[in-house]
Amino acid sequence: MTKMADNGSSVEIVEGCRLPVLRKNQEHEDEWPLAEILSVKEVSSRKLFYVHYIDFNKRLDEWVTGDRLDMKKLQFPKKEAKTPTKNGLPGSRPSSPEREVKRKVETVPLATQVPPATPVPSLPSSAEASQASVFPAVRETTTFKAREDHEPISSLTTNGTARRLIPPQPGRKRKANCGGTDEDSQDSSDGIPTAPRMTGSLVSDRSHDDIVTRMKNIECIELGRHRLKPWYFSPYPQELTALPILYLCEFCLKYLKSLKCLQRHLTKCNLRHPPGNEIYRKGTISFFEIDGRKNKTYSQNLCLLAKCFLDHKTLYYDTDPFLFYVMTEYDSKGFHIVGYFSKEKESTEDYNVACILTLPPYQRRGYGKLLIEFSYELSKVEGKTGTPEKPLSDLGLLSYRSYWSQTILEILMDLKPDNGERPQITINEISEITSVKKEDVISTLQYLNLINYYKGQYILTLSEDIVEGHERAMQKRHLRIDPKCLHFTPKDWSKRGKW
């Protein structure tokens, strides 16, 4: 699009330009954040611009008209040095000997990493921490004595006010209180965290230079009684992405190009629930376990749908090494998908979740925590501790932080004094009770600012604000997993050949 600049010369907006763009904000006043132009197209003699708002989540990217662009502050893209090409295409990833579509389809950006534990002064090693005594949750003021047979990591006291037992160590950054944004999740330690191994049917996408995968390619998805507006790119067949609506069978997740095709499909589709074994049912909530090898088409279609709402991920068509746990809501028409998580059949890193998603119509209703709680219930049956695969999405990160905080605080506040002695518990014991990996237990305690260092031992101090906040949160948490309703027998996949 060519417009006149202030000096009378003509300028052309091209991909890579940056300038303020009017963003329609329903909650606050309209604003003009800086945005990058990712694509330009002409529709009915009018130019449209696909923009990404800098420092905003990509789910807010959109097509805008020229009248929403502030041309006075136009910034042209900087020229960059040429980078080596692979397979003849800049920034492309090496292809396998097999057809690339069979291996993977490149996609977009997603996630914020759950922070590694921020070190408190001279924090014991994992072996020592596993034996360290942790905090008692008590309301009245009392004097605590450390166990002599264990290295203490914290003894907890609440007396109505938060009290700092020792001045913060010089140069040490403290975690923000619970409820922070993604910025709070950055690693505050001086060391560089080691990147975890990426696995999963959807794994972290490390190539962000493909302009096509940075743009939403689907306008709308109709899934049962819901119409969903995708947040991110998903590699559905290209001929379907130009349609105003993509239709999905809500039971088998097959994608179709028209309502007529969907109606014809429904006359032949016998499914009324996800294919697989129902391993949990309480009230209207059910969980189904789907084997990625036995139900390959369903698993691939589930990943395509999930990719619409997960960023920084690459879709893998090889679903054989994964199990998918789909949560549904039951009514007279069948079992309707609410969300899911996937996990590796064998994980050397103790991952109990590879990808996790609650579909947008069911978000902010407690289903995300229910999925997380279910994943840990499976770990309890397996006799293992588990952790989610990182990086997590921004929403996934918040959900896990909240779940870990509530789960650990629930245990601490249930502790009772033993014969008048201060109640104590170890990191190992918390991990064994909850199946939450020790590293996540420690990082959560640090995130909540519960750990203090006093007279050579670690003390956990629960303030009245944390106690009251936890009680309010638990009153709102109506959905819980009932272990008695779980019918699950773990399999030893190491002895099952290629699954």
Active site residues: 389
The C-alpha torsion from 196 through 202 and 204 to 208, rounded to 10°, is 170
Question: Would you tell me how many other CB atoms lie within 10 Å of the CB of residue 406?
Answer: 17
Token digits of residue 156: 């907890």
Strands (E), 262-414: 277-282, 285-291, 313-316, 322-331, 334-344, 351-353, 355-358, 387-388
> Residue 105: in which H helix or E strand, if any?
strand 104-105
Helix, strand, coil % (nearest 5) of the chain? 25, 25, 50
Q: Are 200 and 344 in contact (CB under 8 A)?
A: yes
Q: b/e per residue, 308-344, with b = 16+ CB within 10 A?
A: bbbbbbbbbbebebbbbbbbbeeeeeebbbbbbbbbb
The β-bridge relationship of strands 133-134 and 156-157 is unpaired
Measured in whole angstroms, how far is the alpha carbon of residue 89 from the centre of its chain? 31
Q: What separation in angstroms does the CA of 257 have from each of 221, 238, 242, 248, 369?
A: 10, 11, 10, 9, 34
Nearest alpha-carbon partner for 13 in 80, 53, 69:
69
Report the largest interatomic distance among the alpha carbons of the chain, rounded to a whole angstrom: 86
Are residues 332 and 414 in contact, defined by beta-carbon separation less than 8 angstroms?
Answer: no
Rg (CA), the chain: 26
Report which residue type is found at 67.
Answer: D
Strands 355-358 and 255-256: unpaired
Cβ atoms of 90 and 209 closer than 8 Å: yes
Residue found by looking up tokens 């309010």 in the block:
472
Rounded to whole angstroms, how far apart are CA atoms 438 and 457? Answer: 19
Beta-sheet strands, E only, within 235-284: 246-248, 255-256, 277-282
Q: What region does 188 belong to: left with phi over 0, alpha with psi -120 to 50, or beta?
A: alpha
Sign for the CA dihedral angle at 165, 167, 172, 174 comes to positive
Q: How far is CA 382 from CA 133, 158, 250, in A?
A: 26, 35, 31
